Structure 1
Amino acid sequence: MAALAVLAAAGCSSGAGAAPKITTTARAGVAPTPPEKGAYFGAWVPPGIGGGPKAPSPGRTSATPSGGSSAKPAVKDADRPGMAPVVGFERELGRQLDIVQNYAGWKAPFPGDLDSSVLDGNRYLLLTWGGADTREIVQGTHDELIRDRARAIKATGKPVFLRWSRDMDKKSAQAKVHSATDFIAAWKHLRAIFKQEKVDNVAWVWCPSARGFGSGNAGSFYPGDGEVDWICADAQPGGDYDYRDLSEAVKLFMEWARGRAKPIMIAEFGVPRSYGERRAEWLRAAAKTLQDPQIKAVVYFDSDEQAEDARDKRRAFSVTGDKRAVSALRELATTPYFNPRNLPVTSD
């Protein structure tokens, strides 16, 4: 798919070893490619921001997103379908997001309202697309659906990050994923159909759980360098820890990633409400960990939807209403390393 792009990894580091040169099969100027320096900053902001646990998880010109005065968090953006919570979050951060994440089930229509709103602006869309039975995919059962999705993404004419079947390494996914071999075959089948449809505006993001590199065998699900544009991990600290730095959560994943000449995305990171006054401390430490020369995109999970109930603060990650946490996340988001497009930063 498209031309090969190569970037020399550069930037600040939290003491990690030198990153490899970064390669991607994505076509520069058409699909999302890594910034030469620094990392994009994005977020998942669910509908009804701050609305408590179990919130539902849920285009177009050909220009690549770019900086400029129009990139300021704007009132007019809030009028676009699905964008009001995103713009509210951006106001707290004092800057526009580079990446807006959205979730879609396997059979969900695309683009949805939020997808279209993001694609009509100058933010990147990170589409996290649910999986299906891998063996059915390989057998061709879902070819029509896959082809429809490929054509719809191509029709947007905008760069799209596509994160398919995330956390495929978890036991909860085994009934559909079956095995690493089945997953890899299904991944290649999807990519082959997208290639047949000449979809050049997609960057393929492979994303197991960070924990899977310790307690499981997440690396065995890797389809290969020629099949992946970005390597990724979901890296929440975990509800079974009283306190755990992000550096510990991503350590084994980062060690594995050093062997791959690919840009890294941390697609779901967040600090639990259970950390209380230490949330700001956690975020400031995370900012140092994430300033790694191989990390090229970070996406905050600003949601409480994983919490089992209102008392479950270990799985609640929204910073809304926590002034210290908001301030610390703002510091992270407005650090030059996480603003490679030089988007305007506001003081209010």
Structure 2
Amino acid sequence: MKTVIRMLLVATALAVLSACSTFSDTGRDEYARSQGKDPAASADEASPSEKPEPPYDVRPLLKPAKKYFGVAADGAPAKMTAIESFAKSAGKKPNLVEFYSAWGDRYESRLVQNSWDYGALSFIAWEPFKVSLKEIAAGKEDAYLRDYASSVKELNLPVAISFAHEMNGFWYEWGTKKATAKEFVAAWKHVHDVFDEVGATQVIWVWSPNIITPMPKVKLEPYWPGDGYVDWVGVIGYYAATGPSTYATLFEPTMAQIRGFTKKPFIIAETAAQAGERKPTDIKDLFRGTAQRDDVIGFVWFNFDKETDWRIESGPLSKKTFREQSVNGAFGFDVAKP
């Protein structure tokens, strides 16, 4: 489990503008021009079977007209069998596939390609285990960072990356017990800036705090790197047997606090409902709440049987309810032509 629920259950061409982040609209345009490309050309002209011209323009994916229908599933996307099984149960193909990568792992180009070939955008939760945020911010990991960013650039497919998620919690090495908000921001900005220098503009940057319920005294604004460094705000929270049990009580207090310092779009970066009688109601609540908010662009369902059975297949009524809700036309779209 990637959330506090477990506690409950136990100088390349990219130096084009000194005053503008490469990942801003202006910066992405400038980089495209430096590569001899027309920034006005639409990224949706390429089909999944065609290799898009570099650099891939991720901007159409940032605020799509419809919502992401995402999943994280055991063994995926190294193998897509779990995704295919989920799609069969859900009655709809997911268009966002999340997986987890430890700091030091190479960029999993094959996994990103697997997702894209299936018709889904990859979403990587990049976890800085066995390295401190101070070391990252100080540049001690730059060789690895540059290699990773170069691989992203070389593959030239869009990818969402969430660095050091749930930083406002205490259960990770980069969390509140071992790192400060200032150290987190410094590390985040440094990682982003190295990608900027390398020219890996194919990244959608996802800033992902845990919901504030378990640690209400930890304010989120000190952890905010700034609008120029973030594309999506990924909120992480689960419908557990105890605690908040509605969209309004589970997610919206956190969203309200975040709206005090940014208007970036939300995505529910990780969620699921604990098996039990309430699960069908929780599933309906998730779909309804996400559909009703224009500033929430989708969700990722954690479809694992881990510490408890979060899968939509945990019971026949849960599966039936999820399938009924997924029919909603607001969810799902072609990521190659958003």
What is aligned with 1:96? 93
Quick check: 2:133–2:174 contact (8 Å CA) kept in 1? no
- The CA deviation string for residues 41-90 of structure 1, in whole angstroms up to 9 with x for no partner, is 1010112xxxxxxxxxx9xxxxxxxxxxxxxxxxxxxxx85111111111
| Cα distance change on mapping 1:328 and 1:163 into 2, 3 Å | same
**2:159 counterpart letter in structure 1:** V
What is aligned with 1:160? 159
SS of residue matched to 1:211: coil
What is aligned with 1:120? 117
- Residue among 21, 25, 37 paired with 1:4: 25
How far, CA to CA, are the matches of 2:72 and 2:174 in structure 1? 27
What is aligned with 1:237? 239
What is aligned with 1:298? 299
Quick check: 2:62–2:204 contact (8 Å CA) kept in 1? no
What is aligned with 1:319? 312
Deviation at 1:3, TM superposition (A): 4.8
- The CA deviation string for residues 260-287 of structure 1, in whole angstroms up to 9 with x for no partner, is 22111101111101xx222111111221
Deviation at 1:253, TM superposition (A): 1.3
Superposition map of 1:1-348 within 5 A:
1-4=22-25, 29=43, 30-31=57-58, 33-47=61-75, 81-111=78-108, 113-131=110-128, 132-173=131-172, 178-211=179-212, 214-238=216-240, 240-241=242-243, 244-259=245-260, 260-273=262-275, 276-291=276-291, 292-305=293-306, 307=307, 313=308, 316-341=309-334
How far, CA to CA, are the matches of 1:180 and 1:147 in structure 2? 24
**1:185 counterpart letter in structure 2:** A
| Cα distance change on mapping 1:228 and 1:335 into 2, 3 Å | same
The TM-score normalised by the length of structure 1 is 0.74
Structure 1 unaligned regions, length at least 5: 6-26, 48-57, 59-79, 308-312, 344-348
Deviation at 1:219, TM superposition (A): 3.0
Larger relative contact order (CA 8 Å, sep ≥ 6): 1
SS of residue matched to 1:217: coil
What percentage of residue pairs aligned between the two structures are identical? 21
| Cα distance change on mapping 1:189 and 1:288 into 2, 3 Å | same
Deviation at 1:122, TM superposition (A): 2.4
| Cα distance change on mapping 1:263 and 1:129 into 2, 3 Å | same
How far, CA to CA, are the matches of 1:267 and 1:155 in structure 2? 26
The TM-score normalised by the length of structure 2 is 0.76
Quick check: 1:164–1:205 contact (8 Å CA) kept in 2? yes
| Cα distance change on mapping 1:321 and 1:170 into 2, 3 Å | closer
- The CA deviation string for residues 210-234 of structure 1, in whole angstroms up to 9 with x for no partner, is 1267342233211111111111111
How far, CA to CA, are the matches of 1:157 and 1:245 in structure 2? 39
| Cα distance change on mapping 1:329 and 1:294 into 2, 3 Å | same
Quick check: 2:70–2:301 contact (8 Å CA) kept in 1? yes
**1:188 counterpart letter in structure 2:** K
- The CA deviation string for residues 160-213 of structure 1, in whole angstroms up to 9 with x for no partner, is 001111101111235565100000000110011000001111010000101267
| Cα distance change on mapping 1:222 and 1:87 into 2, 3 Å | same
Quick check: 1:38–1:293 contact (8 Å CA) kept in 2? no
Quick check: 1:205–1:231 contact (8 Å CA) kept in 2? yes
Matched pairs, number? 280
Structure 2 unaligned regions, length at least 5: 1-21, 27-40, 44-56
**2:321 counterpart letter in structure 1:** A
Aligned residues: CA RMSD: 2.5
How far, CA to CA, are the matches of 2:185 and 2:42 in structure 1? 25
Quick check: 1:336–1:342 contact (8 Å CA) kept in 2? no
How far, CA to CA, are the matches of 2:274 and 2:101 in structure 1? 24
